[in-house]
Amino acid sequence: MSGNMNLTLKIWTQKNAKSKGQFETIKIGGISPDMSFLEMLDTVNEQQMKEGKEGFAFDHDCREGICGMCSLVINGLPHGPDNLITTCQLHMRKFKDGDTIVIEPWRASAFPVIRDCVVDRYSFDRIIQAGGFISVNTGSAPDASAIAVPKDQSERAFDAAACVGCGACVAACKNSSAMLFVAAKVSHLNYLPQGKVEAKRRVLAMVDQMDKEGFGNCSNLYECEAACPKGITVDFIAKMNREYLGATAIYAEKVYGEEM
Amino acid sequence: MILDSAIPSGPIGEKWTRHKFELKLVNPANKRKFSVIVVGTGLAGASAAASLGELGYNVMAFCTQDSARRAHSIAAQGGINAAKNYTNDGDSVYRLFYDTVKGGDFRAREANVHRLAECSNLIIDQCVAQGVPFGRDYGGLLDNRSFGGAQVSRTFYARGQTGQQLLIGAYQAMMRQVAKGSVKMFPRREMLDLVVVDGKARGIVVRNLVTGELESHVADAVCLCTGGYGNVFYLSTNAKGSNVTAAWRAHKKGALFANPCYTQIHPTCIPVTGDHQSKLTLMSESLRNDGRVWVPKKIGDTRSPDQIPEEERFYYLEEKYPSFGNLVPRDVASRNAKTICDKGMGVGQSKLAVYLDFSDAIKRLGASAVSAKYGNLFQMYEKITDENPYKTPMRIFPAVHYTMGGLWVDYNLMSTIPGCFVLGEANFSDHGANRLGASALMQGLADGYFVLPYTIGGYFAGTKLDKVTASAPEFEAAKKENEAHIHKLLNVKGKRTVASIHSELGHIMWENVGMGRNQAGLEKALAEIPALREEFWKNVNVLGGEGSFNQNLEHAGRLADFLEFGELMALDALHRKESCGGHFREESQTEEGEAKRDDENFCYVGAWDYKGVGVKPELTKEPLTFDNVHLVTRSYK
Ligand SMILES: Cc1cc2nc3c(=O)[nH]c(=O)nc-3n(C[C@H](O)[C@H](O)[C@H](O)COP(=O)(O)OP(=O)(O)OC[C@H]3O[C@@H](n4cnc5c(N)ncnc54)[C@H](O)[C@@H]3O)c2cc1C
Ligand code: FES
């Protein structure tokens, strides 16, 4: 049951991290409004391959908005024109017959392009390695109900923990800042009693790593919040800034930087 | 071949404790001398890598995604079981054990399931300590919900994102070890081969998915945590990248594959809309608490659902199963939906759907109460279908969801290849012929946090391991073989795309090895799959090069394995003439059309030994005994 939308796509193509990329223009017909955006791209690739061309590379896996793998800037918007969804949840009914759609990768120096619209987000893993965890070895945990966590606190931690690490916040920011991602993890862990012990070291180490990775400064324009598929709010950035200031004031330089 | 399951002696409740004591230990200072490869970073792999790293082993972890956090476990919605009995409703380790054995329709090992139930409570403790934000009540204590197949409330949950939160916990624990240097992470790598030296698993060959380079990695043991093979059906609720490749390649190197035909088909998924469909989306089982399943009584009734009066609706589950109604287990609900649609009574454009109607619940509880319970699912449904389930009943249809079969492992989670361990959905061990909701997450984490870290020590302490390097002839040979395989794929240069052949395979599997299976259909599949495999090797067109990022080549390699594996699935289904759990042989049903087990002839694990492509594999049976939970017929009438 194919549909009848005709579209013009301008898709970013780039052989690898070192080569220069460019837009390629493709015309595609027979698109159904019930297709997801990625199914539309599957259709494009099937057509390309039938013509003996390799098709376009784009990242995806779960295709239900939770793994954080899909990552396209569509008409200038990370994850496209719908709210609170990832690229894989976007459907073609959001577009009209005859539309031109521009498709690009996340653009940030900390996210180098691997191919076409596929980028490398290893910098996010390194930020987590710096302090985005609670130090508890397997088997050393107390009974799960030993510490009660007030519901509102646990809910707020959860709102922050909903981050899927896709990087849309970085792609949306003119400075390529990763503040929303880092703030979400800092808040998730620091709101919980289990995470409080390491709270200061965590915020310092994670922010430090974020800077090292080459992410820019917060522009305070809140584009990140608008692009976030999980509705993570910039309030967490404010919370992180307060924690960071508090931690730098208290934390003697000699302590910070010690083995964690 | 005789399969030694290595189940410890003694009463069921003491086996694991006794075994842990009897296992030989590796001295803490010696642990760093051992290296372990962990393939896959889902719940099973991430928890194993973190725990082994903490113990001091040298761990190398691999995944196909760009980050370990994106493994398919992330997609689990509903929850994770544990026998905490916080709700004081009579739960216990023994009851969780009992429910899981019975839910698996008596085709799992008692000893493994009991150990799983014992570990369940430790998992919850561990996850809370890591910062997993489980649902809590107003007193700040952990909350529980009910799930299918149990009469107690033992499911812990984190909104509709339980898998995500558990995986992030395990991933963070693993990242902590990466920072410490005890775990080295290799993302965007695909395992193509298991390397066996002197009869022991000593490493893997992977393809670097960014550069296309084949790399050899050497270790003292290899743990496969590579998930399930539901994508042999092309359409499933699994992630697009889920595959059988790692397990299949290990199988070809001598690891027996157990019960490959056991597949779980989930009753409530969003139906297919057209040929472009690339995957199926699950709508949580919890919806059946308040939704009523029906179809119009009259075949070909095209009126919109709100125009169909009550007396012209067929609430088939409520009529057929008055005591369980819409809450019958997954296999029963799925089969009934299929039967209805086979009769031409399905709804929607494709006629392959039934209604799941919330109008009564909305009348009874009010729209806002319904929204508080299911709001996110309703929104997800609307985004995909463009229909408002508050006004129009949902249309749902069953979809492939989970695979209970997998590589055969003994009680130590070791496959028939010494040093090759298999964890999580990739092994066969704990769910028998049907998995209960919320128990896959439990199993993956039990395997990785609490079982493997003990049993692998026992293996190292009791095994002589010679020094092996990546230049060993076995590694060189494996690399060459895989290079040749890749060249072969790229050089077919036929006319068909990989996806078109995969979709055709999926169709064969779904029609013949799906919800209802019979001899004629299975024999048909056994003729069609090899023919399609031949078509693939004659007529596929794999574009792009080998030395670069090439998703088409990745897909082609996975499909080539599915085209071999699908045949084994059909063969296993054909040999198992009984019905059990998710495996429904139409020839073996009761007068009322329910599954009929044959304990006299089939109370065993069927483990297959590879003999070559298209050559009949050899079957070895591991008999199952039930000393604690007595064999009974499941009934939901
Ligand atoms: C939509 C959905 C909802 C679910 N909900 C629930 C639920 O509520 N409760 C429950 O208990 N269970 C649920 N399940 C089942 C459960 O999520 C899975 O069974 C479980 O998470 C599997 O975990 P795993 O660690 O074994 O494998 P996975 O999480 O699938 O991880 C596989 C890993 O292996 C890697 N890999 C695969 N092949 C290769 C290769 N060749 N080379 C290198 N790496 C490879 C992948 O990159 C990945 O890291 C659900 C499943 C689905 C699909
Ligand atoms: S593909 Fe997983 S979030 Fe889009």
The chain A residue lying nearest B278, using CA atoms, is A39
Under DSSP, the state recorded for B398 is E
Residue B586 falls within a domain, yes or no? yes
A15 & A85 share domain: yes
pLDDT band at A1 (very low <50, low <70, confident <90, very high): very low
* Domain total of chain A: 2
CA of B46 to the centre of ligand 1 (A): 11
Specify the length of chain A in residues. Answer: 260
Asked if residue B97 is part of any domain, the answer here is no
pLDDT band at B149 (very low <50, low <70, confident <90, very high): low
Active site residues of B: 330
Verify that A221 and A128 share a domain, yes or no.
yes
Does A169 lie in the same domain as A93?
no
Mean pLDDT of B503-524: 97
Q: Identify whether residues B493 and B391 lie together within a single domain.
A: no
Q: What is the pLDDT of residues B540-556, one digit of tens each?
A: 999 999 999 999 999 99
B47, B125, B175 ranked by CB distance to A129: nearest = B175
DSSP secondary structure, B86-127, as one string? TT-SS--HHHHHHHHHHHTTT-S-HHHHHHHHHHHHHHHHHH
Q: Angle at Cα B152 formed by Cα B149 and Cα B156, nearest 5°?
A: 90
Whichever domain contains A222, its CATH number is 1.10.1060.10
Compute the half-sphere exposure of residue B556: CA atoms within 13 Å on the CB side of its CA: 27
A86 shares its domain with A126: no
Domain count, chain B: 2
Does A151 share its domain with A181? Answer: yes
A162/B161 touch (CB, cutoff 8 Å), yes or no: yes
Q: Is-contact B556 B540, C-beta < 8 A?
A: yes
In this structure, the answer to whether residues A91 and A154 fall within a common structural domain is no
Q: Does B66 touch chain A (CB under 8 A)?
A: yes
Are A106 and A71 a contacting pair, CB within 8 Å? yes
If asked whether residues B282 and B384 sit together in one domain, one would say yes
Last residue of a domain, one of B362, B377, B401: B401
Pair type for strands A113-115 and B80-81 = unpaired
Give B373-380 contacts, CB < 8 A, sequence gap 24+: B373/B286, B373/B290, B374/B286, B374/B287, B374/B290, B376/B159, B376/B160, B377/B160, B377/B283, B377/B284, B377/B287, B380/A64, B380/A65, B380/A89, B380/B281, B380/B283
CATH code at position A24? 3.10.20.30
Q: How far is CA B254 from CA A130, B279, B407, B415, B615, in A?
A: 41, 32, 10, 9, 15
Q: Is residue A86 part of a domain?
A: yes
Range(s) of the domain holding residue B570? 476-602
**One domain, residues A97 and A136:** no
Residue B78, pLDDT score: 84
- Retrieve residue B303's tokens: 């009126």
B502 in any annotated domain: yes
Residue at which a domain ends, from B401, B425, B444: B401
pLDDT in tens, B474-502: 999 999 999 999 999 999 999 999 999 99
d(CA B401, CA B235): 10
CATH number for the domain harbouring residue B564: 1.20.58.100
Check whether B563 has a pLDDT greater than 70.
yes
A161 located within any domain:
yes
> Strands (DSSP E) along B338-484, which ranges?
354-357, 394-403, 406-407, 420-422
Do A54 and A140 fall within a single domain? no
**Average pLDDT, integer, range B511-537:** 97
pTM above 0.90, yes or no: yes
According to the model, what pLDDT value does residue A252 have?
A: 54
Q: Is B396 found in the same domain as B519?
A: no
Q: Are residues A129 and A86 in the same domain?
A: no
Residue B517: pLDDT band with limits 50, 70, 90: very high
Asked if residue A40 and residue A68 are part of one domain, the reply reads yes
pLDDT tops 70 at residue A253: no
- Residue B552: list chain A partners with CB under 8 A: 49, 54-55
Answer whether residue A260 shows pLDDT above 50. no
Interface residue B294 vs chain A (CB under 8 A): no
Distance CA B259, CA B602 (A): 11
Chain A neighbors of B276, CB-CB under 8 A: 2, 32, 35, 39-40, 42-43
Q: Is the pLDDT of residue B147 over 90?
A: no
* A180 in any annotated domain: yes
- Report whether B398 contacts B201 (CB < 8 A): no
* B355: CATH: 3.90.700.10
Structural domain contains residue A93: yes
* List of E strands, chain A: 5-13, 22-31, 73-74, 77-78, 100-104, 113-115, 118-119
Find residues 213-252 of chain B whose CB sits inside 8 Å of chain A.
239-241
* A143 and A80 assigned to the same domain: no
Cα–Cα distances in angstroms (integers) from residue B209 to residues A13, A118, B596, in the given order: 18, 12, 46
Which range has the worst mean pLDDT, A10-19, A79-88, B139-148, B414-423? Answer: B139-148
Whether B93 is covered by a domain: the verdict is no
What residues form DSSP beta bridges with B620? B607
In a domain, A212, yes or no: yes
Domain span including residue A65: 5-104
| DSSP sequence for B413-430 | SB-SSTTEEE-GGGB-SS
B447 Cα–ligand 1 center, Å: 13
**What local confidence, expressed as pLDDT, does residue A255 receive?**
52
